[in-house]
Structure formats: structure tokens, C-alpha cells
Structure 1
Amino acid sequence: MTDEASQKTNDKCSVHAILPPNIEPDQKHRFEAVRSAIKHAWDGYNGVVLSPYRKSFKKYFGILPADDLMPLTSDGITWLHSAATLYDALDTLYIAGLKEEYEEALELTLSLPLPLHPTKIFEYSIRVLGSLLGAYSVSGDERLLDRAIFTADSIIDGGFRSSPTALPRPFDVLAPLRSSVSFLNIGGMIMQRLYTSIYRLGRDYMQQHRVNSLAGFGSFSLEFAYLSKLTGNSKYKDASDAIFEHVQNHIGHGKVVGVIPSMWNVMKGLPSTQMSGLGGGSDSYYEYLIKNAILLQPLTEKTDIEMLESYIKTLDESFNGDHTGIAFDENHVAYPTERGSDYNHLLCFVPGMLAVGEKFYDEPLDFKYDKGDTLSLAKKLLDGCWNDYQSTPTKLGNEKAWISNEGKKNSDDPSFLLRPEYVESLFILYRITKDDIYRERAWDAFQMIEKYCKYSQGYTSLTNVFLTKGNRRRKDEMPSYFLGETLKYLLLIFSPDDYIDLHEFVFTTEAHPLRQIRTMENMRSGKCDYATTTNQPTVLSLNIIFFAIAYCIFILARMKNPFSQKRRGNRKKNQ
């Protein structure tokens, strides 16, 4: 096949990884500005975390690069033990047309082992599995799909298989059914199996391995359903369907219900609280109810239809009647809330969720907002998020606030963690309405991020959005979702509407774009001609088995509490 012919077949299977040729002239400089920000953030993480890793021997011992960048101290944060930023950034680099950076990231991605350390199953799924599927969706590279299959198998054989109920454990060691290609081959698998056996002896006695949030166990449907459709293997979708069915059976006793408790004991399969809402710990569960329908439409299976019905009931219970999902301030500005008073930045995903369901699911939804149509509700709630941004000197939003009975808004947590939810909803509302006000608000937010968060190496979070001067306002972390979501949505809002078209793609909760099933055949019939090899770390011989056993004992002895993980830079899924 000639180079020209190869390029043509590749074009059938991938978005154009260059500056979109039909971009509006007045938006080109904005697109390029965000593209430069993506490169700056990536260069910071790559330079501080990945470059030293490539030169080290850590990869031979199951140690992965740090998850997040610490820009102020030129260090990394490890909380997922899985190189989270590398994965989250992969499809962002491709979409931004940063070819060299993408190829370098892809090479490392395909060579990394599974984490030896116990990891948070949900976070691993949305970041690692989601990234592989998202990058596959936009590139058509079959190596990514093969790696995604291996990753999903490891998740199921870990947190799913070790749970006595349909609800997966919150933490577990990922235990593959076959050895990892790059992790010491057979020796690596034996080492991991040995560590897994030791780890699981004490796991059941730890409280944090018993209780999982609704989002934590209920946000697998999109990635798992997609993988089942791609492979023809129903085991992935069956596992996520079983979660929804379990929840509905235990709460609704056979009837479809909407808003449900946010925390559950996975060992007993029962709620551990009666608290509920659309925010942290629950959000992506509800988000996936409608996105699953969009991904798989037209719906034919009973569980998928019931998930859509549950979504509609959730909206009715949240925005009609007592209106626990909305609150008004003294100026009659509407905010997305939990329990009618608690506003937080995470909830700014709600306007986008409402708008996506209204416009990109082909059949009309039964939900009717009792004070107007669904799109007008989405606009009102997004106005509230914008108003929160406008209320601070930095023009960046509070992490948390609450609205009193008199309508006064009070800040509960004035930090800004580079979160994506606000710009995510701006992107969706712009694509739907074509109203330039959403582009202008996105540009304003981006400029403030550049002004207050940009640092010599990447970007920092802020401790207080009410402070405009001095490094005291800076928080030494750049969460992986900043590259995976925030900058990606900002880039796309200034790109043409057919660049990652929402009629063809649906975004996961971590902003990884998946092609809708009904458009998938167009990609898979392209017969893309991709390279099938990548550099792998040197394989060590099986003579190291003794060392593997000794190393497992060493790291277990070194950990004060190997079963506890503290989430750093927590994002949409606070659990």
C-alpha cells in the first residue's frame, strides 16, 4: 500500500489530528491558544514525571509513573498508581494535533504494566480503560482496543470477581487472566499473583473495602457496553447491567426508581446511608443512564430501556416537586444543588447532561420540567455556574458553596481545582444552541486559568479564588482531568461543530470520546493500516522469581497501611 493510499484509509477511521481546515478565522487564535496550553501542561508532566521514568528501572518492578504533576515542587503525586495523567491526556493530544507528543505517549502507554499496588477500580476504569477506548475511537488503532480488552479483563478479575455481590469493590489489585506483555512476562504475573494473595488476606477486614459510592460501583456501563459491542463478548456489559439490576431490585423491588442512596456496602449489597443527590459520589451514575442510551440507540435490551426510564425519574424527582436539584439566590439566579441548598462545582455537569439527553437521544424523553422545557432548565442552571465564577475576584468558581433560605450564597470551600464541569456544559450548550455567549464565557474562563493558574511547569490549582496575588493562593497539583477534560472541552468549543461531532460521539465521564454504535461500522470498515509493533521494555528472565517474592515481602513491610488510599486532587467523583 502506498503512503498516499494508507493515509486515505486512515482518514476513514480517525478524526483529523491537525488544525481543523474549516475552523472559523475568528476562532483560530483561540483554538491555537488552548492547543498551546495543552502542550504546556503536557510538557510539564512529561518533563517532571515521564522523562525520568523512562530512564529508570522502575518499570521492571511494577512501579508506574506518578499520576498527577506537582508543578511548584517539580514532583509527582501518586494516588492511583497508574500514570493517570498519561492516560487521560492520550486522546487530548491526538485531538489537539500534537503528533509527536501523542506518538511518544502512545509508545509508553502500550508498554506499561498493570499496577502492582491496589488501586481504585472505578477511577482506573474511567481513566485507563476510558482513555484506551477514547483514543481507539478517534484513531482506529487496533493496538489500543487490544490493550483495552486486557485492561477490562483485569478489572473484572479484580474488583468484580472478588466481590460477593454484583457491586464491585472500591479497591483491589488488578489480577489479569493472562500475563501482561511488558511486565516481566510470566515472572511478572507470578509476582503479581503472589502479591494479590497476600494482599487479599487482610483486605476484608478494612472498612474502606466494604463501602463504595454509587458513582464508584455504578459508572462502568458506558465503557463496558462499548467494549462488548466492539468485541461481541457480552461479559463486560453483563457485569455493568448486573449492577443496575441489583440496585433497582433492592430499592425498587422490581420497579424502576430514580434517585437512590449514594453509599452502599458492597459485601452485603445494601445501602449504608439514605443520603442521595446528583453530586459527588453519585454524579456519573446518573450521567451514564442517559449516555448509555445515546451510545446504544436505538435501544432493544430491557436493561438499557430501564436505565433510560430511571434517568427520566431522576430528573422528575430532582427538578419537579420539591426541587431538591435546584436553588435560587436572592437575585433569582438558579443553581444546581443537592438537597436544595448545597452547590458545588461538580454539579455544573448537570446542565450539559440535561442538554445532551434532550438533543442527542433521537426519541423524545418523557421528562417535562414543570416551569419550562428541559433546555431552558439547562440554560438557567448553567447561568448559575457562570454567576458563581463572576462572583469572585479571579473570575474562577468556588469548589463548594451553600444557599441560605433567604437566597444568600456563601462559600464553603473557595478553592479552584482546575475542574472541567463548567466548561463541559458550556461546550455542550454551544454545540446545541450556536449561541456565542457560551464561547465567550469559555474564553473568559480560559484566560483566567492562564492568568492565575499557569506556572513554569504546567498549571496549579488554587486554594482561594478570592485571592489574586501571591503564591499563597497556589495549590501544588495539576490533576489528570485538567488535560483529559478541562483543556479538551475548551479546545473543542473553539473548533468546528463537526470536529468530534456530538451526533457521532458520546463523552465518558472523564471526557473520553466514544463513537456511537450506529456510526461504528463506518470506522471499522475503513481497514486502517496501522503499525502493529511498539517498543517494549526488555524482558528479564525467569531467574528473578526469587527476587519477585522478596520484593513483595519488602513492599508489604514498607507500607504502613497498604489497604488505604487517600485520593489527591479529587474530582467529579468525590467518594
Structure 2
Amino acid sequence: MTMQCLCKKWKQLSRLQRNLILFTVALMLVCGIATYPAVTEHFRGLTVVVKEDEGHVLKPVIPEVLPEPPSAKPKRAPHKRGPPGPQNRLQKKGTGSDIQVEENPIQDAKKADKEEGEKPLVNRRGALIEADQATEGGTAKEAENKVDVPAVEQKDHSHEPEFDRLEAVRDAFRHAWKGYKEFAWGQDELRPISKSYGEWFGLGLTLIDALDTMWILNLREEFEEAKTWVSTELSFNKNVDVNLFESTIRILGGLLSTYHLTGDTLFLDKAKDIGTRLMPAFNTPSKIPYSDVNIGKGTAHPPRWTSDSTVAEVTSIQLEFRELSRLTQDTRYRAAVDEVMQKVHKLEGKQDGLVPMFINTNSGQFTHLGVFTLGARADSYYEYLLKQWIQGGQKETELLDDYLQALEGVKKNLLKKSSPNSLTFVGELSHGQFSPKMDHLVCFLPGTLALGAHHGLPADHMELAKQLMETCYQMYAQMETGLSPEIVHFNMHEGSIRDVDVKLADRHNLLRPETVESLFYLYRFTKDRKYRDWGWEILQNFNKYTKVSTGGYTSINNVRDPEYPSPRDKMESFFLGETLKYFYLLFSDDPELLSLDKYVFNTEAHPLPIWPSAE
């Protein structure tokens, strides 16, 4: 039919007929535009259909945080629901997560962090670390270059005995080690999604941190490979700045622990080498050590922006240096760290035994007075008060007195209840103003309290430990992924709908060990199976939301979004050194496996012997 005929036919129609036709065409055009994003999303390749034995599975192309769900799952509505109320123990969660692909997930996370204000440092347990000294996981370019990899089958161990839970931990370690060995061997940290590595000190941190874990998990083949690297490749004669605290707890602690477990003097020799190279940090006017040491040049200095060190980093190196003196009969190591504790013991500026977060290396005085926390930059000071007392055979009463006084200060100033479910939590104090902010790092406290009660301290320490353990579990259970954020804020007002709020910049999870650590202590001392069950839930959720199919586990940016938790492309060394080790000890039925009457764990989960009473 020609255009002329069509025009003739059109003119023969009535005005009403023409309007109806035009309206119908317009309506079809609007519907087509409305459905266009869904259609184009399919053709962009955001999901691909993978043929499997039992049918078809929708599989996200990037990034590969696995295992994959067994069936397609409808997308969540655009709004995000709040966290559920307190979860029942052993509540069943979904079997997988459909990961929503964002154009620039890492960039979005960094933008969220900037909204909270620029920070000149990266901190881990309170150490001041210059931002350019640590490699952060995942750039926008890496996010764009992630590749599709085969799915890893996840086994359901939920009803299996403890032996199979132990094997599940061993499987998790093997999977993490596979990624490290293939993509980051001998380097500090694995970037599992980009299949690359990040350097911090250039000393093989992950490998050294994991040595005693492999021995405890009876992974002898992996251990021997790592031992060969230590013997032939590890050298501390490098022109590199290292953080005193991090190097002490991870490297010195890891080498000393491995020496005690294996009896191999290779590790003691290496421990003595790094310990000696760290000693220049104590050459300060006040004898409060600098934060950074060049282990090749034998020089030390504070961070570029301050002459302060954090209280945690100068008071959480004592277990390791004291043990090095005992083994080598060289008293200078212990003398240096004991002097730090004696100075801190006498300092003014405490409040009911609570210490500020910073101390000046020139004056030897506390700075930034009036701010008190059991989180970053102060946490392990309290932990090491108790553990030094235990390590030394419970003879150093000054350490015990400071610990007991600090706990009374916690009860008086920082301990509160949330609403509506009355969860006991530890907040922060700033110039007399209370803040209901609690770092995940504070979840070391239930385990420390329980350890003290086991060694004869008041029974109410154990009761408080149980209450705080419940709170730390709820920090996981109330999140949509079942994984805790880095920081939470508790509601205290009557009529609150939920106990926990999480700010956008605090929603990341770094695979931290503190809650699992405390679950281990609580189970070891009470034999209450709920602590094992809570740990099992957490391990399953690590497997569900952080496991990368080609090897390794990744920290994530958003524990509130199970659809796409936004992987950060970084596996911290403490995931192997601490988190998986504590999982294994939690599930073990052998109370003599690192008996807590014979060993004390440093703050990086490296066991060191309790000294014989004769010493």
C-alpha cells in the first residue's frame, strides 16, 4: 500500500478514530521505554545463564564472591529494609546471595568514607599507620577488570558433628591459602578478586601470620612450603619502614609461637633478628617508642603528621618482647617494654583506670585527654594488662591492679543497655559526653573477661562476659548478611524499633576475629554449645558472602546488602592468623589443644607459653 493510499484512508477516519489510534501508539511507546532498562540489562551481560546438571542457574559475571545460589532470586525492591530484630539462635538464613553489580563499587565506598571526613591513617587495633603505607583493596579499574570464574560448591555442614566442622575450617584455610599461593606468594596480602597482591612492609605478612595456624590445623604440606620460604627467602635486611606494633604482633609473635609449637630454631633465629631490628623504636626522649622503624637502617620515627603514638600500640608489644628475652637470655627486650608499662602506670590523665588514646613520644604524657574507648587505639592495652599478669605466673600485681581498676571504670562510665532488647554494650566517653558507639574490636572483651574469671578473678566478670557475648553475636545476627559491621551505634531511647544502627561508612566487614575469639573462650570455659552454634553461623556467612571462587576470601563494604555486599578485594593476614584459628579451636573437643592453663594468646592469636612458676 502506497503512502498516498494511507493518507487517503487516514483522512477518511473520524476525529475520534484518529485520536484513539494516536493514543494507542503513544501508550505502546511509553510502555516500551518503561521496560527498556530491564531488557538492556539482560543484553549487557550482567548475568549469564550457566548450564548445570540440575538446571540453569543465574550467575553474576562480576565480581565473583561465591558460592553461587542454587536458583535465580528476584531482585530486591529499591528501598533497603532495616535490620531485623534480635535473631533466634541457629536461625536459618538463605543458601546464597545474588550479587548485584554496580558500576564502581569501590569508588562508591570511598565516597561514603569521605562523607564521614577524611582520615590521615588506616588503623588496625589502634596502630597509627600512614595511609600510603598500607595498600587498600580494590580500585575502580580493578573492579572493571574482574573476570568470570567457575563456581565453588558449598557443602552444608549444619547438622554435622564437630569433626566435620573442623574439616570445614580446614577447607576454608586451604581455599584461602590456594589464592595466596597462586596470586600473592611471599607478599603481604592477597587481593583475591583482581588475582593480585598488596604490599605493606614487603615481609610476607600473611605467610608468617599463618604459620602456627597451619601447624595447629595439621596442614603439614602447606606448613613445609611456608617454612621453606622462611628459610630461603625471608630477609629483614631491607630498607623499609615497618610499624612497630603490627610487626611485633604479627611477625615477632608469629615466629615465637611457631618456634614453641615446632621446636625448630629457624623460627627463633628469625624472631631474634626482627626483634633486634625493632629496638631503635625505643630510642626516644621519653622511652615511649616511636610508631615506625626502618629495619634496614636501624632508625625510627613517629608518623609524619604527629609525634604521638597510640596507647594500644605501645602497650601491646610486651608479651612478645618479654618472651624474646626469656628465650635468648637478653634482658634488653623485656627492659624496654617493661619501662613503658611502668611509665603508663604512673601517668596522670586516666579516668577510673581508663586511659586516653594517645601518648606523646617526646614528653611521655597522654595527649587528647578526656576521650576514652575500648575500641581502636586503646583496646589491647586492657587485654595485655591481664595477659602479662597471666604470662608472668600471676606475680606482677601492679598489672592486675590496673586491669581491675580499668574494668570498674568500664562499668561506671561505658557500660549501658540498648533499647528495646536491653543488650549490654560498651560505649565511648568524650569530655563527659557518652556516645553509644561500639567498634567490632571491642568484642575482644567477652573473651578477656572470661579468661580472667578462669584465672581466679571475680565471678561477675564471667557474667558480664556472657552478656557482652550475646551483644557481639547480635551485631552479626541483626545484619542482613549475618556479618557484623566495623562499627555500630546502639539505640538507648525508649520506643526504639531496633537496638542497632549502622552508618553508611561503617558497614564494612574486614573478616575480623574478635567475636570468634571470644566465642572460643566462652565455649572453652562454659561448654555451652550455643557459642559453637553461633560461630558456625558466622563461618557459613563468611563462606556465603566473602568467599572468592578462584581462591581466598575478601573483605566487603556493605554487610547490609546481601544482594551485593560490594567486595573490597583484600584478604587481611589476620583472617588466616586469627579468625580461622579461633574457629578451629572453637570447634575442637580437645581441651588440651593449646590449654589456657599453659598458653596465653597474643593479640594476633599467636600462643605463647605461660612461664613456669619458678621463673
Q: Please indicate, yes or no, whether the TM-score normalized by the shorter chain is above 0.5.
A: yes
Aligned partner of 1:26 in structure 2 is 161
CA distance in 2, matches of 1:286, 1:315: 9
Higher relative contact order (CA 8 A, sep 6+): 1
Aligned partner of 1:317 in structure 2 is 409
Gaps of 5+ in 1: 1-24, 51-64, 175-191, 522-575
CA distance in 1, matches of 2:400, 2:352: 11
Aligned partner of 2:532 in structure 1 is 439
Aligned partner of 1:468 in structure 2 is 562
Task: Tell me, yes or no, if structure 1 residue 102 matches structure 2 residue 223.
Answer: yes
Shifted more, 78-87 versus 394-403: the winner is 78-87
Choose 1 or 2 for highest CA Rg. 2
Aligned partner of 1:93 in structure 2 is 214
Choose the corresponding residue for 2:599, options 498, 505, 520: 505
How big is the shift at 1:392? 1.1
| SS of aligned partner of 2:488 | strand
Shifted more, 26-35 versus 337-346: the winner is 337-346
Task: Tell me, yes or no, if structure 1 residue 207 matches structure 2 residue 299.
Answer: no
How big is the shift at 1:205? 9.1
| SS of aligned partner of 1:110 | helix
Task: Tell me, yes or no, if structure 1 residue 117 matches structure 2 residue 240.
Answer: yes
CA distance 1:107–1:326, change in 2 (3 Å): farther
CA distance in 2, matches of 1:440, 1:520: 40
Aligned partner of 1:494 in structure 2 is 587
Question: Does the Cα contact within 8 Å between 1:278 and 1:325 map onto a contact in 2?
Answer: no
Aligned partner of 2:464 in structure 1 is 377
CA distance in 1, matches of 2:341, 2:401: 12
How big is the shift at 1:400? 0.6
Choose the corresponding residue for 1:44, options 179, 200, 225: 179
How big is the shift at 1:204? 7.0
Q: How does 1:81-480 map to 2 (within 5 A)?
A: 81-111=202-232, 112-114=234-236, 115-156=238-279, 158-161=280-283, 163-174=284-295, 192-193=296-297, 206-208=304-306, 210-251=307-348, 258-274=353-369, 275-299=371-395, 304-319=396-411, 321-322=412-413, 324-339=414-429, 340=434, 341-359=436-454, 361=455, 364-365=456-457, 373-406=460-493, 408-412=499-503, 413-455=506-548, 456-470=550-564, 473-480=566-573
CA distance 1:204–1:219, change in 2 (3 Å): closer
What amino acid is aligned across from residue 281 of structure 2 in structure 1? G
Shifted more, 328-337 versus 420-429: the winner is 328-337
CA distance in 2, matches of 1:402, 1:133: 38
Q: Between the two proteins, what is the percent identity of the paired residues?
A: 35
**What TM-score do the two structures reach when normalised by structure 2?**
0.69
How big is the shift at 1:463? 0.7
CA distance in 1, matches of 2:302, 2:612: 43
CA distance in 1, matches of 2:428, 2:415: 5
CA distance in 2, matches of 1:257, 1:222: 25
Question: Does the Cα contact within 8 Å between 1:159 and 1:173 map onto a contact in 2?
Answer: no
CA distance in 2, matches of 1:350, 1:335: 11
How big is the shift at 1:94? 0.8
CA distance in 1, matches of 2:424, 2:398: 30
CA distance in 2, matches of 1:352, 1:276: 21
CA distance in 1, matches of 2:251, 2:559: 31
CA distance in 2, matches of 1:403, 1:286: 23
| SS of aligned partner of 2:608 | strand
Name the one with the larger helix percent: 1
**What TM-score do the two structures reach when normalised by structure 1?**
0.73
| SS of aligned partner of 2:421 | coil
Question: Does the Cα contact within 8 Å between 2:391 and 2:610 map onto a contact in 1?
Answer: yes
Question: Does the Cα contact within 8 Å between 1:87 and 1:128 map onto a contact in 2?
Answer: yes
| SS of aligned partner of 1:307 | helix
How big is the shift at 1:308? 1.2
CA distance 1:500–1:317, change in 2 (3 Å): same
CA distance 1:308–1:204, change in 2 (3 Å): closer
Report the RMSD for the aligned CA atoms in angstroms: 2.2
| SS of aligned partner of 1:306 | helix
Question: Does the Cα contact within 8 Å between 1:505 and 1:516 map onto a contact in 2?
Answer: yes
Runs of 4+ in 1 over 6 A off after TM superposition: none
CA distance 1:154–1:257, change in 2 (3 Å): farther
How big is the shift at 1:337? 2.9
Choose the corresponding residue for 2:170, options 18, 26, 35: 35
CA distance 1:520–1:465, change in 2 (3 Å): farther
Question: Does the Cα contact within 8 Å between 1:418 and 1:482 map onto a contact in 2?
Answer: yes
Gaps of 5+ in 2: 1-159
